[in-house]
Amino acid sequence: MDSTLKQTLVDAIRNIPDYPKPGVMFRDITTLLGNARAFRRAVDELVHPYAGGKVDKVAGIEARGFIIGGAMAHQLSSGFVPIRKKGKLPHDTVSIAYSLEYGVDEMEMHRDAIVPGDKVILVDDLIATGGTAEGAVKLLQQMGADIVSACFIIDLPDLGGRKKLEALGVNVRTLIAFEGH
C-alpha cells in the first residue's frame, strides 16, 4: 500500500483523547466513513487481495464491521453475515462467550448463515486487544467456516490483538497502525 493512501486514511480518522477513559486515544472512523474518497479507498484496499478469488461470505462484527463488511461483500459479490451481540438476531442462532477487557460478553450469528467449508472474510474497523475478533473467529470456525482472512482498517499493535488471531492460524490484514492505546 502506498504512503499516499496511508496518509489519506490517517487524515480521515478523528482522534478523541481520553475516551472512553483517561489515557485512551479513541480512533473514530465515522469521519472516514463520511469521507467518500477515504471510505472508497479503504474498502478497495481491503478487497484488493481477494478480488477474483472465491469468497463465499463476508462476516462483519457489530456495528462498524457491518458498514465495512457490507461494502466489501458487494465488491466481492459475496454474501454478508452479521455477527451481533446476543439477543439481537430474530432466528435460530449459535453463540459464543468471549473475553472483554473487564469481563465477558456473548455474540451470535444465525445458525444457517454459514455452510461448512464456506470461505469467509471477517471484518471490523479496528483490532485492539482482539477479544471480540477472537470470539468471532471461534464462532465462525465452530460453524465450519474456512476463514480466508480477518480484515481491519486500524491495528493497535501494542495491544496484541493481531497476534492472538495469528496464533489461531488466521491471516490478518490491516491498513494502518497507531501506536499506544
Answer for the pair 46, 175: CB distance below 8 angstroms, yes or no.
yes
With a pLDDT cut of 90, the percent of the chain lying above it is: 91
**pLDDT, tens digit, for every residue of 62-104?**
999 999 999 999 999 999 999 999 999 999 999 999 987 678 8
Answer for the pair 107, 86: CB distance below 8 angstroms, yes or no.
yes
Residue 151 has pLDDT above 70, yes or no: yes
**pLDDT, tens digit, for every residue of 114-125?**
999 999 999 999
**pLDDT, tens digit, for every residue of 37-56?**
999 999 999 999 999 999 99
Q: Establish how many alpha carbons lie within 13 A of residue 136's alpha carbon, considering only the half-sphere containing its beta carbon.
A: 28
Answer for the pair 59, 83: CB distance below 8 angstroms, yes or no.
yes
Q: How far is CA 49 from the centre of its chain?
A: 16
Confidence band of 181 (pLDDT split at 50, 70, 90):
low
Catalytic residue among 64, 84, 162, 173: 64
Answer for the pair 154, 177: CB distance below 8 angstroms, yes or no.
yes
- Is position 40 annotated as part of the catalytic site? no
Give strand ranges (E) for the chain: 14-17, 25-28, 57-61, 79-85, 93-100, 103-110, 119-127, 146-155, 172-177
Helices (H) and strands (E) in the chain, counts: 6, 9
- Is position 45 annotated as part of the catalytic site? no
- Hey, what's the cell of 44? 478497495
For residue 48, give the DSSP letter: G
- Enumerate domains of the chain plus CATH numbers: 54-177 (3.40.50.2020)
